[in-house]
């Protein structure tokens, strides 16, 4: 094949003139590139490599409107190659405002001497203040931690807080309540127990809550508060505020039921209202259930002595149980409140609902001296004292004799004569008692010869001394 044919085509395909034009264009392009880029020694240097590190900033307390504007992803450049990006935000309550802790990523040129980040022309060190300015807010915070990941070491920590609050606030507290700051949930109430105090307008509450916490230098914290027993934590819910003392960290309310026997003296109306199955509540929270009721007469016809078996809703702390501020043990006083009455009294027994001893009937001889004749005549065999449906005393025999007096007649002689209107009365009774290994108990008290007992026989109240206790 000819290189150039008769028509001037190269190899029979491309016109020589066209080929020259293409070669000229390529030459110009190559020359232009060489002019712009220069030779190997004059090429543009690559952009410098930037390094990143993460720090924790304490931004202090911020108004809600500022805290609400802050978000992960916000960026700020103080100039040059330095840039700050918020990667995590943590809020906690402090002095009625939101305390803000932020995790930020810093990008800048490396420090040639220390192989560390120099941000905004200064090295990073603890306590240094860094600014954050966006189109929506401007603030600053101090460096509290340097290095590690781009998020805070967060954890949901279960705690128990105890506080004394107004009754109205205690009534508002329910499981599921969320505590929020600037639209972020910082805590959730998971359980509430309420108990009485010595002031009717206040209640003691034990609140189980799940707190959003973070770790700093090995310490678990809620805001600026290190989580340890005895510290105070504030939870500002929408309807109430808890300023509670930390009772437990890492665990919730350890609920238990404690059976106790409580003794009290109440008015007749309250005694009549007491009934098995009554539920005691405090600010809408159940605290106890009445399991047993035993009522006895006193020397005052308007007052009754009661022994009430209660199942208390308690909280366990190690080896002991608490009912509000009170440790559940013999001698401590319990207070409960139902819809129709209030009851308070010392604990006589723990772990049982009944009085000590085994129930039994004993024949007991009683004696009254120098009783008015009309009262002596009012006592008849068959009279009883009852506690609910139970007969606790029955008179089976009555023996009345004139009381004797020593009189001196006109001639000076001394004589023993019958009193004209006073009588000595001997009663034979059948009493329901409780027998222990060491004593016989009647209506909650130990009885023996010369003891005094009181019987409410309906139309008459008898106060007599024990002469003998039979089988």
Is residue 17 very low, low, confident or very high in pLDDT (cuts 50, 70, 90)?
low
How confident is the model over 195-213, as a mean pLDDT?
91
Which is nearest to 344 in space by CA: 355, 332, 354?
332
Cβ contacts of 293 within 8 Å, gap of 6 or more:
274, 275, 276, 306, 307, 308, 309, 388
CATH of 255-350, one of 1.20.120, 2.40.30, 3.30.70, 2.120.10: 2.40.30
pLDDT surpassing 60 at residue 13: no
Residue 139, pLDDT above cutoff 90: yes
Q: Mean pLDDT, the chain, as a whole number?
A: 88
pLDDT of residue 120: 87
Q: How confident is the model at residue 48 (pLDDT cuts 50, 70, 90)?
A: low
Instruction: State the pLDDT at residue 200.
Output: 80
Give 338-387 pLDDT, tens digit per residue. Answer: 999 999 999 999 999 999 999 999 999 999 999 999 999 999 999 999 98
Has residue 210 got a pLDDT over 90?
Answer: yes
What band does 447 get if pLDDT is binned at 50, 70 and 90?
very high
In percent, the amount of the chain with pLDDT more than 90 equals 68
Q: Say yes or no to pLDDT of 90 above 60.
A: yes
Please give the full DSSP string across 301-340, using - where no structure is assigned: TTEEEEEEEEEEEEEEETTEEEETTEE--TT-EEEEE-SS
What are phi and psi for residue 95, nearest 5 degrees? 55, 40
Q: What is residue 466's predicted lDDT score, i.e. its pLDDT?
A: 96
Cα–Cα distance measured from residue 449 to residue 470, given in angstroms and rounded to the nearest whole number: 11
- What's the confidence (pLDDT) of residue 41? 47
Considering the domain 156-249, what is its CATH architecture? Beta Barrel (2.40)
Extract the tokens encoding 122: 């200064």
H-assigned helices in 135-217: 167-172
* pLDDT in the model for residue 424: 94
Choose between 11 and 94: higher pLDDT: 94
Top-level class of domain 51-146: mainly beta
Range 412-430 average pLDDT: 87
3-state secondary structure 233-282: EEEECCCCEEEEEEEEECCCCCEEEEEEEEEEEEEHHHHHHCCCCCEEEE
């Amino acid at each position: 094949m000819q290189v150039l044919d008769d028509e001037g085509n190269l190899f029979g395909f491309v016109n020589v003139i066209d080929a020259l034009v293409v070669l000229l264009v390529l030459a110009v392009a190559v020359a232009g590139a060489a002019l712009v880029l220069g030779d190997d020694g004059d090429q543009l240097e690559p952009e410098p490599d930037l390094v990143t590190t993460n720090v924790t900033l304490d931004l202090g307390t911020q108004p809600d409107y500022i805290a609400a504007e802050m978000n992960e992803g916000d960026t700020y450049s103080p100039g040059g190659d330095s840039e700050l990006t918020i990667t995590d935000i943590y809020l906690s309550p402090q002095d009625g405002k939101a305390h803000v802790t932020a995790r930020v990523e810093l990008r800048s040129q490396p420090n040639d001497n220390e192989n560390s980040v120099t941000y905004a022309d200064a090295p990073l060190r603890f306590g240094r203040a860094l600014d954050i300015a966006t189109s929506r807010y401007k603030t600053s915070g101090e460096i509290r931690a340097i290095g590690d990941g781009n998020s805070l070491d967060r954890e949901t920590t279960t705690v128990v807080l105890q506080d004394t609050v107004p009754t109205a606030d205690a009534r508002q507290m329910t499981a599921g309540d969320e505590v929020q700051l600037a639209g972020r949930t910082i805590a959730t109430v998971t359980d509430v127990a309420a108990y009485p105090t010595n002031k009717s307008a206040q209640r003691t509450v034990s609140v189980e809550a799940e707190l959003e916490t973070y770790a700093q230098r090995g310490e678990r914290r809620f805001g600026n508060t290190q989580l340890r027993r005895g510290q105070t934590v504030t939870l500002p819910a929408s309807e109430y505020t808890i300023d509670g003392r930390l009772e437990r960290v890492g665990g919730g309310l350890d609920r238990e039921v404690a059976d106790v026997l409580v003794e009290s003296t109440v008015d007749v109306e309250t005694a009549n209202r007491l009934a098995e199955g009554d539920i005691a509540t405090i600010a809408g929270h159940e605290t106890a259930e009445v399991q047993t009721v035993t009522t006895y007469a006193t020397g005052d016809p308007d007052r009754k002595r009661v022994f009430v078996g209660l199942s208390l809703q308690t909280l366990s702390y190690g080896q002991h149980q608490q009912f509000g501020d009170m440790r559940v043990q013999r001698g401590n006083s319990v207070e409960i409140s139902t819809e129709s009455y209030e009851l308070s009294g010392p604990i006589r027994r723990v772990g049982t609902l009944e009085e000590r001893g085994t129930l039994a009937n004993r024949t007991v001889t009683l004696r009254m001296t120098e009783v008015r004749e009309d009262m002596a005549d009012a006592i008849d065999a068959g009279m009883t004292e009852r506690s609910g449906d139970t007969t606790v005393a029955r008179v089976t025999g009555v023996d009345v004799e004139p009381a004797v007096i020593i009189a001196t007649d006109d001639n000076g002689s001394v004589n023993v004569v019958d009193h004209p209107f006073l009588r000595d009365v001997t009663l034979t009774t059948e009493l329901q008692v409780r027998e222990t290994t060491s004593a016989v108990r009647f209506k909650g008290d130990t009885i023996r010869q010369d003891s005094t007992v009181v019987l409410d026989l309906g139309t008459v109240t008898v106060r007599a001394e024990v002469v003998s206790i039979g089988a």
